């Protein structure tokens, strides 16, 4: 037994000496802990406004106040006093992070035009139009685009004290507007004309570019516009119009994957693809570093409606109404070419995005007839217009993974 134990000890010592020599030959890296890839900080998403009627464009004022356009209910009233499009200013007076408390809303306009494309164009989709986008000039003037249908299209100049003035442009709808770098011109996405307008603050209109058909022969439908603060290029979200389904031959609202973001030189009209492979790209934003944020309103079409469907029936069946509810998302495309990152998904029909002064995002959700029954993630629910704030998604990394 003694002899056996000695031999075993000699074997152990030899093995340890061999292992030590092997580790020394490998260098110190063999002893280093594995490197963990850092993970992005998850964003914080907060509801800061609710119970709105189709919130659309948001502009952030110098004191943090929010100018919010609401497209209204979609009911096209003959009496102008019953029209429901709105422009309001919200102030967080109690500094609790939202704008929903008593006295925090100042209504500027309450009876702007509104209509629903289902009745106007038999689109088979619950799509409300009206006040669409809002810009705040550095001199305090406000510019508001309104798609009221037919002869109710406008790009209004509004004084700093809330008095409506000139209509700078009254042709084609302008779902999205953005200033050029020195705020002497406004670029507008003219959806019905498939064009990008360049509108001077003197009221001169130039057609900067007409967008050709997309991959399956459908209209491009420019829906969102943003200006690159680094060079003045214009980014345009092309939504995708009706297209014939190659498998059935029937017309469908859009072809998934055909939407995209294009980069336009506004002086020459030349453009090129910036981001492709999107679905229902409805808006776009870009920050000072060149990071791009896209809004996709829905992932697929669902429950197309008959023209005579009663959108205001509280007991109507819970139908999607043309686009799958709660399938929208916000995606960040890093300026350095890194992998895209979904900041928020499962959103209910997001339409507009605005970057705030501290890099936070303001996103409008809840497109469609307010209160209409729809399918929800946890069962039937109703359409609620809201503005979300998305923040803390910057490129810092969680400390425990650094």
- 399, pLDDT greater than 60: no
Q: Where are the beta strands (DSSP E) in 228-318?
A: 234-238, 243-244, 251-252, 259-264, 271-278, 281-286, 292-296, 301-302
Residue 6 in domain:
no
Residue 89 in domain:
yes
Residue-wise pLDDT tens digits, 341-358: 999 999 999 999 999 999
pLDDT category at 246 given cuts 50, 70, 90 is: confident
Residue 19 in domain:
no
Spatial contact of 241 and 257, defined as CB atoms under 8 Å apart: no
Question: Pick from 195, 120, 105, 205: which is nearest to 154 by CA?
Answer: 205
Number of structural domains (the chain) is 1
- Give the number of other Cβ atoms within 10 Å of residue 236's Cβ: 29
Q: Please provide the average confidence, as pLDDT, over all residues in the chain.
A: 90
Sequence-separated (6 or more) residues with CB below 8 Å from residue 222? 175, 176, 189, 190, 191, 194, 195, 196, 211, 236, 237, 238, 239
Lowest mean pLDDT among 9-13, 38-42, 72-76, 172-176: 9-13
Residue-wise pLDDT tens digits, 169-209: 998 899 999 999 999 999 999 999 999 999 999 999 999 99
Residue 209 in domain:
yes
pLDDT category at 393 given cuts 50, 70, 90 is: confident
Sequence-separated (6 or more) residues with CB below 8 Å from residue 185? 179, 198, 199, 200, 201
Residue 284 in domain:
yes
The DSSP letter of residue 84 is -
3-state secondary structure of 156: strand
pLDDT category at 402 given cuts 50, 70, 90 is: very low
The DSSP letter of residue 400 is G
Residue keyed to tokens 């406000």: 142
Residue 181 in domain:
yes
- Tell me the average pLDDT across 92-102: 97
d(CA 146, CA 140): 19
Sequence-separated (6 or more) residues with CB below 8 Å from residue 211? 194, 195, 196, 220, 222, 236, 238, 262, 271
Residue 13 in domain:
no
Q: Which domain holds residue 121?
A: 42-401
Question: Pick from 192, 198, 178, 247: which is nearest to 220 by CA?
Answer: 192
- 21, pLDDT greater than 60: no
Residue-wise pLDDT tens digits, 268-303: 999 999 999 999 999 999 999 999 999 999 999 999
Residue 85 in domain:
yes
Question: Pick from 344, 347, 349, 346: which is nearest to 372 by CA?
Answer: 349
> SS in 3 state form for 341-383?
EEEEEEECCCCEEEECCCCCEEEEECCCCCCCEEEECCEEEEC
- Tell me the average pLDDT across 78-98: 96
Query: Any alpha helices (H) in 150-249, and if so which ranges?
Result: none
3-state secondary structure of 6: helix
d(CA 325, CA 319): 9
Of these ranges, 147-156, 236-245, 379-388, the one predicted with the greatest mean pLDDT is 379-388
- 228, pLDDT greater than 60: yes
d(CA 168, CA 143): 9
Sequence-separated (6 or more) residues with CB below 8 Å from residue 237? 176, 189, 222, 223, 224, 225, 259, 260, 261, 278, 281, 282, 283, 284, 294, 295
Q: Which residue has the higher pLDDT, 30 or 125?
A: 125
Q: What percent of the chain has pLDDT over 90?
A: 82
- CATH code for position 99: 2.120.10.30
Q: Residue 2 has what pLDDT?
A: 33
Q: Residue 39 has what pLDDT?
A: 64
Sequence-separated (6 or more) residues with CB below 8 Å from residue 351? 55, 56, 282, 283, 295, 297, 364, 365, 367
pLDDT category at 394 given cuts 50, 70, 90 is: low
- Give the number of other Cβ atoms within 10 Å of residue 130's Cβ: 28
d(CA 266, CA 209): 8
pLDDT category at 392 given cuts 50, 70, 90 is: confident
């Amino acid at each position: 037994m003694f002899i056996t134990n000695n031999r075993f000890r000699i074997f152990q010592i030899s093995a340890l000496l061999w292992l030590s020599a092997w580790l020394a030959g490998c260098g110190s890296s063999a002893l280093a802990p594995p490197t963990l890839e850092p993970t992005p900080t998850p964003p914080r998403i907060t509801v800061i406004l609710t119970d709105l009627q189709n919130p659309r464009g948001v502009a952030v004022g110098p004191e943090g106040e929010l100018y919010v356009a609401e497209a209204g209910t979609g009911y096209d009233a003959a009496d102008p006093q019953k029209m429901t499009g709105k422009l309001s200013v919200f102030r967080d007076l109690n500094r609790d992070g939202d704008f929903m408390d008593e006295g925090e809303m100042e209504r500027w306009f309450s009876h702007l035009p509104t209509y629903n494309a289902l009745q106007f164009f038999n689109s088979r989709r619950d799509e409300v139009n009206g006040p669409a986008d809002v810009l705040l000039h550095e001199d305090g003037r406000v510019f508001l685009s309104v798609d009221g249908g037919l002869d109710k299209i406008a790009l209004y100049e509004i004084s700093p004290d809330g008095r409506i003035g000139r209509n700078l442009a009254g042709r084609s709808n302008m779902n999205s507007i953005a200033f050029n770098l020195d705020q002497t011109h406004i670029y507008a996405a003219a959806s019905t004309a498939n064009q990008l307008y360049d509108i001077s603050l003197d009221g001169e209109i130039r057609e900067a570019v007409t967008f050709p058909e997309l991959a399956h022969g459908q209209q491009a439908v420019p829906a969102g516009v943003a200006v690159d603060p680094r060079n003045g290029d214009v980014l345009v979200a092309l939504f995708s119009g009706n297209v014939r389904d190659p498998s059935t031959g029937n017309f469908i609202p859009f072809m998934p994957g055909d939407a995209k973001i294009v980069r336009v030189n506004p002086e020459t009209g030349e453009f090129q693809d910036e981001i492709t492979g999107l679905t229902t790209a409805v808006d776009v934003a870009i920050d000072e570093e060149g990071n791009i944020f896209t809004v996709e309103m829905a992932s697929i079409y669902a429950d197309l409606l008959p023209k005579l469907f009663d959108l205001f029936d509280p007991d109507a069946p819970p139908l999607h109404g043309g686009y799958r509810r709660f399938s929208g998302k916000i995606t960040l495309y890093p300026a350095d070419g890194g992998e895209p990152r979904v900041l928020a998904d499962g959103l209910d029909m997001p339409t507009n995005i605005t970057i705030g002064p501290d890099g936070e995002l303001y996103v409008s959700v809840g497109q469609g007839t307010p209160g209409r029954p729809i399918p929800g993630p946890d069962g039937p629910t109703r359409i609620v217009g809201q503005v979300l704030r998305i923040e803390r998604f910057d490129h810092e990394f969680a400390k425990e993974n650094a």
